[in-house]
Structure 1
Amino acid sequence: MESPYPSAAVAWYAIAMLGLINALDSIDRGILSLLIQPIKRDLGLSDTEIGLLSGIAFSGVYALVGLPLSRLADTRNRKLILSFGITLWSTATALGSLAQNFWHLFLSRAGTGAGESLKGPNALSMISDLVPREKLARAMSLYSMGIVGGMAFSLIAGGMLLGHFEGRDIAGPLGTNFRDWQIVLLLVGAPGIVVALTFLLTVKEPVRRGRRSAEKPPALEVLRFIWANFRFFGFFLCGVALLQIELTGLLHWRIPFYERTYGWGPATAGPLMGTISLVTTPVGLAIGAWLGERMARRGDPGAMLRLSLIGLTSALPFAIVQPLMPTPQLAMACSAVSLLCSSIASPGYVAAIQVVTPNEFRGQVNAIYLFMISVVGSAIAPLAVSLITDYVFADETMLRYSMVTIAIVFGTTGLAMKYLSLRPYCVMVSRIMEEERLAGEVHR
């Protein structure tokens, strides 16, 4: 018999802290999209070089560090690993304020990627041990809220800071001068060290649940598990990667899009977009959590994945037409609806992986899932948009059409892959529910 779950206060405090950490991740990962134009101005970079900083620099190291160390999430103290990761990525982001050329920024983003690669496998594994399955949608909504808060903060606070420091030099030590974008990197990176210490001192490592073995499973055994269920994992992970290319491609270039298309700079577009995110996304996450738990209580084995499909299908049309709007107000309205629908989907597809993966495999399976998002998806997305802009249209004012191309091609194919994964997912969950029912009868 397994130990009882921690008290509600302990569990939800830990999940709230993990949501805060997710917010820091989102800020440090996404702040570069707000700083594209100032960095291009001062360092003379092209759109393609910006795409490399946002993609390969971050995601390449993310893959090199995240996949091998994901095995630690299945056997070691996840709280300690996560605290170290927060400290690493926050320090790397802050050091980006000293960058004087492309390669300095490349190293800063690589350090950020290395630290953030430790977050996902450990955080998701901890959440799955803090609350029972029927509350996973709610827990994942709270965790995902961190992404919303982080994105909104980076847009609102970053845009306001850029507006305040625009065109000004701030004297630093040893005769250095900080430009507006360098000040922003320093200010968003430093608080992470405080959060890492707070998390380390106030959150307990949860008891692992549902383990079939206390030993560390060989990597080959994890791959056998994925291969045995390839009809689900193959379609699901490919769909995740393709949809991430569509999502990240649009998100990363949205600030330059508003500036080049409508003349709205970061100080104008950033706070407006951040405010919209703060209003719409919590509503979408709350709807997603409520709907997901309602579907799960009815015994629907495909509840979590079906929830994500409902949201993603509703969001895609608005994401496609958003860059084509004649006014910035209409573009923001389409973005708000797309964001609302995507937020409804968010709790479902994260929870779906946890439901069908044995505890001792979760760290490594989550790492593969996050590899598809952060490496395959996020590495390709910024570069894909920039390559189309630089070499197909050869005109940076045509950025909107590059964004539409990415949304149509990758959004529709990714969504189709996710639909193909639904039936095998239902079979897997039905088998797990039957095993639990039989085990309950044996205990009785």
Structure 2
Amino acid sequence: MATLSLEQHVTADARALRLRGWTLALLTLVYFFSFMDRYILSILLEAIKADLQLNDTQLGLLSGFAFAIFYATLGIPVAWLADRTSRRDIIAVALTLWSAMTALCGTAANFTQLLIYRIGVGVGEAGSSPPSHSIIADLYPPEKRAGAMGIYSTGVVLGGGFGAIIGGLIAQSYGWRWAMAAVGLPGILLAVFVRVVMVEPRRGLSDPGGVPQNPAPLPSLSEGLKSLGASAPAIHLIIAVTITSLVGYATTNFGPSYLQRSFGMTLTQVSLYYAPAVALIGAFGGIMGGRIADRLGRRYGLHVQAWFVAVLKLAALPFTALFYLSYDVTTAFAAVMLSYLLASSYLGPSFALIQGLAPTRMRAVWAAITLLVINLIGLGLGPSITGILSDLYKPAFGAESLRYAMLSASLLTPWAIYHYWRAGVLLKRQAAIG
């Protein structure tokens, strides 16, 4: 590989920074497609359940553990590769794979086939987030990173919301199988676009001090694990975001089913009212949460960002409980909207803080380890345990079993709040030591 001159490096760096808004938008769009393909299943669960004769435990496995175990574990070797090769190329290949597997889900004739295709989606999506986190951290300095990560995190709520909208409307008219194909196939075209136009920055470009002239040798995976394990604030942040994700994945995956079963909403009503409202409010909360976190960090120190998330989580908890305890659809709908508004801010500050703690040349590995834990426990156990609890609660609660299963998951939120608070304490102490 030819070595670039100093002048060429300066020109490339200037171009990467000039186009960083475009790069962030493109990464957010990829993340949008990731969650659209992942969460289209949530709006289709009732149709798939009836067509393939499945129970809630099987639905939870499709949404959770079977998907998450491959998505999470493969993120580690992908991140190792991303710290050494083109992150743009990895993202493009991954997007192609998960989009194709989403479309193939529409051909499944039974639970086993659908499970295999969902595993394929998980394998593909493993290649998206770690390199994306690394690129964003290289494009934005610490004081702007939470805002950038907040924008990126809107891919979660917007992708999940629009997946539900598109999937629900197409399924209502043409069936759930065509909905899978309609959501999956466009991602292949986006992958080509990413490969052709995305600008990849040099590693460490936006860090204080800039890119080192003589970078140290790339660390091993074991060194990355040791460095993360030695950071107490990072450990608390990972625990906090993992518990939060477990509760969130349970709500996201079974929310449409809950509304259909407990409130009698139709698939079209969920697609046209619930899904877009959650998507827009969640996106607004994510963007504003990231911006406010950046301002608080600049004024009071980055540790305040962790406390900011803890306060919003605490404020959201009563509305989350009301969503599950109310039997009035209007009250429940208003409660879940307020809950999403307050609670959706956690991703931007959480990932920004973790990336800020990570050594420059270990960022993709740290992101992958974080996502490994989040997805094995949060995504893997959240929907799976909720589905199992729903089946276990049926003798006591009958048709309302899913309501109480989801409520049970939400009761873990105070545990997450504690870890956000503790992370802030340790970050403040670490900053004082210097």
- The TM-score with structure 2 as length reference comes to 0.91
Aligned to 1:292: 293
Give the 3-state SS of the residue equivalent to 1:298 in structure 2: helix
Aligned-partner residue type, residue 77 of structure 1: S
**What are the ranges of 5 or more consecutive residues in structure 2 without an aligned counterpart?**
1-5
Aligned to 1:208: 203
Which of residues 214, 221, 224 is equivalent to 1:222? 224
The answer as to 2:44 corresponding to 1:35 is yes
Give the 3-state SS of the residue equivalent to 1:421 in structure 2: helix
Equivalent residues in 2 for 1:356-367, closer than 5 Å: 356-367=357-368
Tell me if the contact between 1:304 and 1:351 (Cα under 8 Å) persists in the aligned partners: no
**In 2: Cα distance, 1:198 partner to 1:348 partner:** 29
Aligned to 2:119: 110
The answer as to 2:397 corresponding to 1:402 is no
Change (3 A) 1:142 1:5: farther
Deviation at 1:299, TM superposition (A): 4.4
- The TM-score with structure 1 as length reference comes to 0.89
**What are the ranges of 5 or more consecutive residues in structure 1 without an aligned counterpart?**
166-179, 435-444
Change (3 A) 1:290 1:62: closer
Aligned-partner residue type, residue 94 of structure 1: A
The answer as to 2:136 corresponding to 1:127 is yes
Which of residues 9, 26, 36 is equivalent to 2:35? 26
**In 2: Cα distance, 1:56 partner to 1:148 partner:** 20
Give the 3-state SS of the residue equivalent to 1:253 in structure 2: helix
Deviation at 1:125, TM superposition (A): 0.2
**In 2: Cα distance, 1:10 partner to 1:296 partner:** 25
Aligned to 1:175: none
User: Bigger CA drift: 265-274 or 199-208?
Assistant: 265-274
Deviation at 1:58, TM superposition (A): 0.6
**In 2: Cα distance, 1:121 partner to 1:130 partner:** 15
Deviation at 1:423, TM superposition (A): 1.4
**In 1: Cα distance, 2:339 partner to 2:119 partner:** 30
**In 2: Cα distance, 1:290 partner to 1:122 partner:** 23
Aligned to 2:86: 77
Equivalent residues in 2 for 1:30-69, closer than 5 Å: 30-69=39-78
Aligned to 1:138: 147
**In 1: Cα distance, 2:424 partner to 2:183 partner:** 39
Size of the alignment, in residue pairs?
A: 416
Tell me if the contact between 1:389 and 1:396 (Cα under 8 Å) persists in the aligned partners: no
User: Bigger CA drift: 233-242 or 70-79?
Assistant: 233-242
Tell me if the contact between 2:158 and 2:280 (Cα under 8 Å) persists in the aligned partners: no
Aligned-partner residue type, residue 187 of structure 1: A
Which of residues 169, 177, 188 is equivalent to 1:193? 188
Deviations 1:348-393 (A, max 9, x none): 1121111111111111110111112222111101111111111233
Deviation at 1:6, TM superposition (A): 4.4
**In 1: Cα distance, 2:97 partner to 2:89 partner:** 13
Aligned-partner residue type, residue 419 of structure 1: W
Tell me if the contact between 1:240 and 1:372 (Cα under 8 Å) persists in the aligned partners: no
Tell me if the contact between 2:166 and 2:183 (Cα under 8 Å) persists in the aligned partners: no
Deviation at 1:5, TM superposition (A): 5.6
Aligned to 2:97: 88
State the identity as a percent.
Answer: 28
Aligned to 2:429: 427
**In 2: Cα distance, 1:384 partner to 1:286 partner:** 30
Deviations 1:98-146 (A, max 9, x none): 1000111111110100111111110000001112222112211221122
Tell me if the contact between 1:62 and 1:113 (Cα under 8 Å) persists in the aligned partners: yes
Change (3 A) 1:326 1:114: same
Aligned-partner residue type, residue 411 of structure 1: T
Deviations 1:246-266 (A, max 9, x none): 111111111111111111122
Aligned to 2:3: none
Give the 3-state SS of the residue equivalent to 2:346 in structure 1: helix
Give the 3-state SS of the residue equivalent to 1:425 in structure 2: helix
Deviations 1:188-222 (A, max 9, x none): 00000111111111111111115774422012211
Equivalent residues in 2 for 1:283-432, closer than 5 Å: 283-394=284-395, 395-408=398-411, 410-429=412-431
**In 2: Cα distance, 1:120 partner to 1:223 partner:** 18
**In 1: Cα distance, 2:17 partner to 2:219 partner:** 31
